[in-house]
Chains A and B, each alone.
Chain A
Amino acid sequence: MDMLQSVTYGFQVALQPINLIYCFFGVLIGTLVGVLPGLGPSAAIALLLPSTFKLAPVSAIIMLGGIYYGAMYGGSTTSILVNIPGEAASVVTCLDGYQMAKKGRAGPALGIAAFGSFIAGTLAIIALTLLGPFLANIALKFGPPEYFSLMIVGLMVLTYLSSGSMIKSLMMAIVGLILGGIGMDFISGKYRFVYGLQVLADGVGLVPIVMGLFGISEVLLNLETEIKRDILTTRVKNLLPTLKDWADSIWSIIRGTIVGFFLGILPGGGAIVASFASYAIEKKVSNHPEEFGKGAIQGVAGPEAANNAAAGGSFIPLLTLGIPSNAVMAILLGALMIHGVKPGPLLIKEAPDVFWGTIVSMYIGNGMLLVLNLPLIGLWVQVLKVPYYLLYPLILLFCLIGSYSIGNNTSDVILMLIFGVVGYLMKKFRYDGAPMVLGLVLGPMLEESFRESLMISRGDFSIFIFRPISLVFLVVAILLLIIPIITQRKKLSTLEES
């Protein structure tokens, strides 16, 4: 009954007109961002973050969160119609979605993607509602050693699951960690890696770095090649999937939801990884694996459900533990802290309006998205027709203004641009940016919990092993490190290349 009261309270918060409006804006912008290639939810959230400073924390998170799961919906539109993923989590949808469209089945593809996303999103939020308070209770038992070990797991999971070389991902995570150390060390009061530059004294900002790594670098990369967009001009009819489509896809949706949800919860997981994992699973369990890549509806339904479930699930570590599970959540964590809200096990007690209001608004947001995506397909197709030579100056302008308005400081803009170049080079040399961001955000927390643990134990490293929760996490982390070496598993990235 306590749960019912909490959910009712959540509805009271989420249904306030101001929060409804921001939820709508969030999902609308999210869909737009998902539709437009070259701008992902991380960059969009980072761009809009400064404009939320004047809002109440709950409204800000509702809007920014809406952008994230909204982008999951929008990304499928471009993948299916144009074979260009609107954002990374929709890469997999291109494989079969576009093939379905070429066979004149764009409607059902879009339809099943939207419905699958809705079902998965809703189920994930229900799970979030049920698991959230439970996990928050467990988290109250967490001390510095547990937090340290959990964050190590998070970095390991991300490294294990990211595309490309595992060594490179781990390197990027460490670089992120080092970058996170720039500025003042709170325990000793010393300045680290500042070299007398006042601008570095407060550390390097997360937002400019993310905007540079994901926004600017993407623009630079797209400038290299003329992306020929052959938008399928055949009219998209029959958005409602047939009964047979439903019969074929329902289990894929359910599997995708489960896979996506758990991968979303795990720090280091997230929507991108979830969609790849789901595709791999669907292909494995299918009776007709040869159809994958040629227009198998399961190849759309599963991953689309997975990425939405992951988006929902990834809120759990953020809201209950205060640990971001992926780059987007890291930015949201930054946003919450800027608003003076400290996410963690106490959030549910100290700011129940943020906790329950956000969760409930996600139900509402998912409903809005279903309505937005299907009838407005025509509109999104028009948006896609905006030529890139007009789009990228706008994206650049957004980034420039956005980074400036963080602190009314051109040094943030310059930092963003530097990381834009860095991000571009990283992409060329096949280094992934997500581990760096996670390292940047988790780094300070990781270091703090590590040093606190050692202080508590008077220098005895066994504190990490003798505490059971911490031991479990460390074992998982070690397994994740060792398994690839032993089994030489096929990387999910081979899927990308196929």
Chain B
Amino acid sequence: MNKADRICGIFWLVFAVLVSIESYRLGLGTLYHPGPGFVFFWAAIVLGIMSLVILIQAWGSKNSEESGIHYLGKLSIRKIILVLISVFLYALLMEKLGFIPITLLLFIFLLGIVERKGWFFTISTSIVVTALAYLLFETWLKSQLPKGVLEFLRF
């Protein structure tokens, strides 16, 4: 936990410093008329102090503490990164491509490539899920999902 705590401690310390600078810039006001930065300035100071405590604890303690982070195997990291890429792309492309195409692509990617299931299963499941999701969200809940490239079909 020590290495992790050290990284976190530094991260939060930097964060606290940045917030306190920005809060100061916003204006602390006076005690009887506190400015927009008042509460956040002091909050950031407290945060900074606590991150220092974490850092000191991390540097001070011996390595006897059990490691809290189990280091990921190659396979797990691959999955997580692929899933993250797919969902970020989903978010970025959903309005351009539209709900139906992007959802199909997402499921085909996740089931077929990430999970490596058979193509028949992948494609049929993707179609079924997309159809059901469309019925649920667009038709029943009226969520107004993006039409994208299928605009012309006027679903």
In the complex the two chains form, what is the Cα distance from A408 to B142 in whole Å? Answer: 12
* Cβ of B149 under 8 Å from chain A: no
- Per the CB 8 Å criterion, the residue count for chain A at the interface is 58
From A461, which residue of chain B is reached at the shortest CB distance?
A: B31
* Cβ of A400 under 8 Å from chain B: yes
Residues of B within 8 A of A421 (CB): 84
**Binary per-residue interface labels of chain A (178-221) against chain B in the complex, 1 for a CB within 8 Å, 0 otherwise:** 10010001011010110000000000000000000000100110
Residues of A within 8 A of B115 (CB): 389
B94 touches A410 (CB 8 A): yes
CB distance from B138 to the nearest CB of A (A): 9
* Cβ of A224 under 8 Å from chain B: yes
* Cβ of A450 under 8 Å from chain B: yes
B39 touches A454 (CB 8 A): no
CB distance from A427 to the nearest CB of B (A): 10
- Per the CB 8 Å criterion, the residue count for chain B at the interface is 63
Q: State the total of A-B contacts with C-beta under 8 angstroms.
A: 158
From A398, which residue of chain B is reached at the shortest CB distance?
A: B133
Residues of B within 8 A of A408 (CB): 144, 146
Residues of B within 8 A of A417 (CB): 84, 87-88, 91
B34 touches A167 (CB 8 A): no
In the complex the two chains form, what is the Cα distance from A421 to B83 in whole Å? Answer: 11
From A224, which residue of chain B is reached at the shortest CB distance?
A: B76
Residues of B within 8 A of A219 (CB): 83
A396 touches B1 (CB 8 A): no
* Cβ of B24 under 8 Å from chain A: no
* Cβ of A459 under 8 Å from chain B: yes
* Cβ of A245 under 8 Å from chain B: no
* Cβ of A294 under 8 Å from chain B: no
A455 touches B103 (CB 8 A): no
A190 touches B39 (CB 8 A): no
| Interface segment out of the listed A56-64, A112-120, A169-177, A258-266 | A169-177
CB distance from A455 to the nearest CB of B (A): 6
B37 touches A397 (CB 8 A): no
B69 touches A428 (CB 8 A): yes
In the complex the two chains form, what is the Cα distance from A405 to B110 in whole Å? Answer: 22
Contact of B40 among A54, A181, A389, A404 (CB under 8 A): A181
In the complex the two chains form, what is the Cα distance from A53 to B80 in whole Å? Answer: 33
A171 touches B50 (CB 8 A): yes
From A181, which residue of chain B is reached at the shortest CB distance?
A: B40
CB distance from B54 to the nearest CB of A (A): 6
A451 touches B145 (CB 8 A): no
* Cβ of B111 under 8 Å from chain A: yes
A171 touches B106 (CB 8 A): no
Residues of A contacting B: mostly: helix
In the complex the two chains form, what is the Cα distance from A178 to B36 in whole Å? Answer: 12
CB distance from A25 to the nearest CB of B (A): 12
B72 touches A224 (CB 8 A): yes
Quick one: which of A130-178 are within 8 Å of B by CB? 167-168, 170-171, 174-175, 177-178
Contact of B53 among A167, A225, A451 (CB under 8 A): A167
B76 touches A223 (CB 8 A): yes
A405 touches B37 (CB 8 A): no
CB distance from A326 to the nearest CB of B (A): 21
B22 touches A454 (CB 8 A): no
Residues of A within 8 A of B47 (CB): 171, 174-175, 178
Known: A175-B47, A401-B133, A430-B1. A187 touches B36 (CB 8 A): yes
CB distance from B58 to the nearest CB of A (A): 11
Contact of A454 among B32, B37, B72 (CB under 8 A): B32
Quick one: which of A383-407 are within 8 Å of B by CB? 389-390, 392-394, 396-397, 400-401, 404-405
A167 touches B1 (CB 8 A): no
Residues of A within 8 A of B76 (CB): 223-225
In the complex the two chains form, what is the Cα distance from A410 to B146 in whole Å? Answer: 10
From A54, which residue of chain B is reached at the shortest CB distance?
A: B142
In the complex the two chains form, what is the Cα distance from A236 to B43 in whole Å? Answer: 53
**Binary per-residue interface labels of chain A (413-427) against chain B in the complex, 1 for a CB within 8 Å, 0 otherwise:** 110010011001000
CB distance from A10 to the nearest CB of B (A): 28
Most buried by A among B22, B39, B92: B39
13 other A-B residue contacts (CB within 8 Å) besides A397-B129, A429-B7, A460-B32: A188-B27, A223-B83, A389-B111, A389-B117, A393-B107, A397-B106, A405-B143, A430-B68, A431-B8, A451-B34, A454-B33, A458-B32, A459-B33
The 9 closest A-B pairs by CB, nearest first: A459-B32, A459-B31, A185-B36, A413-B91, A405-B143, A458-B32, A224-B76, A51-B141, A389-B115
